[in-house]
Structure 1
Amino acid sequence: MLFRLGTYWLALAAGAAVWLAGARRSQPVSRADHRRFDRIAPIYDALIPAPLRDRLAERKMDVVARALGPDAEGALGLDLGCGQGRHAAIVQRHGARVVGLDGAFAQALAARRRIERAAAADARALPFRPETFDFIYSANVLHHLPGREEQRRAAAELWRSLKPGGRFILHEINVANPLFRFYMGYVFPILREIDTGEEWWIAPGDFEELGLPPPLALEQYTFLPDFLPEWMARALRPLERRLEQSRWRGYGAHYSAVFRKPAP
């Protein structure tokens, strides 16, 4: 409880300070409008502090690698909402082949600096034949779609594109903790330009509503806010690891869920 209250006041104080300093909020464009991500593409990699960004990327893609196991070698995967290809480059180190897809053309173009195959397309109308991919993953992408119906369309499309027996790994923000919901809704959009504060968050309890089956595995992690200086984050990391193994792990800021498409 003390940790949660402390996080709340840290987030509130940081948000107020940045607001009073005149920080520029994102332009009020639609969450489904990919032009915002085209606009921020030149600064996208710098929007999240590099140590946290890289640590989270490795951790999320470790979930993907473990979900695939020995089947990763030679498997064909789709990075849905690939951004600038950071996640796909990590997965390819495990022997998989990854196609990157992003709704923003500038993001997909930047991804080609890291991976060979990347293109721009809408998650709600994937340009692939049915049962193309051995695995698909999506990292903090689906909450940008404007509403549950649009998210269901994207989920149906990725499920159509997945081979029977294939894995879908969903990485999303966990807003079960009201402090992180407050942070993501009011503070993060001020500090960064990635989100607007109007996202449609996907909680584990929403999987059925999206047409997804119960997950094979669900991991919840990360308690430290991204505005902490790296020296402080390093000092608090042992506490964070303890929280991730405790009964409080359900309040972590991120989660990863692994789904399997049934084989006939």
Structure 2
Amino acid sequence: MSFSKLPDIGMGTFRLKGNDARDAVKSALSVGYRHIDTAQMYDNEADVGEGISASGVPRDDIFLTTKIWHDQLHANDLIRSLRDSLARLKTDYVDLALIHWPSPNNDVPMEEYLGALRDAQKEGLAKHIGISNFTCAQMDQAIEILGENTIFTNQVEVHPFLTNRKVVEHAQKLGITVTGYMPLAVGKVMEDETLQRIGQGHNATPAQIAIAWVAARGLVPIPSSTRAAHQTANLDALKITLSDDEVRAIDHLDRCERIANPGFAPDWD
């Protein structure tokens, strides 16, 4: 199968290791997920690859994403590290290779690492290429380097407590699909009274409402879960249609609560 766009939802694997990662990936594929997201930094690519192999789902039916860590951004390092990722994942290609973070302090010029990423795509190591944690200005710069319609996604943190509106709207204006990671705010959505109230009206959990809200904005959520029941519930969240009033109520939960904010992060919009 050739994917012309991202599947509507993906299975995130951040913080999953060993058997947990392998079993979660196998389970997710068994309940209907077709997008699996990992990264070099997660130190679980081999486990993810084993889960995919054990699932029995044909590789061509799976959209597989990995991300290149910021210590591998020099051109030669990037290509080599991506080949290493493919070996760990037990595949000849990934469907999407992302730059996990822009180079801290611009130590490696963006032209160098995005050029290498484009070369990796030309070599068939990745069917699509993209970026993660890029600001508005960095997205503009990336398009100047790669050209339009080249960047498949910008993967950024999005949940009801961090709408990330400026980046999302700028990406959408540029024609870049946004993938929203941590859509459940590492479980904090479950405690929110607004999400609980809206969930009651839909016979849904706060987690499902958060995922439905991300999807309603035209974003691709990638929640992480190890249990088949929760994975199925996440898929079912895409069937929920929120009213305009409900969407606005969730929008008002924004408190700029950023969870993924390492010291080398860019200056956020």
Q: What is the TM-score with the length of structure 1 in the denominator?
A: 0.36
Larger RCO (CA under 8 A, 6+ residues apart): 1
Q: What is the TM-score with the length of structure 2 in the denominator?
A: 0.35
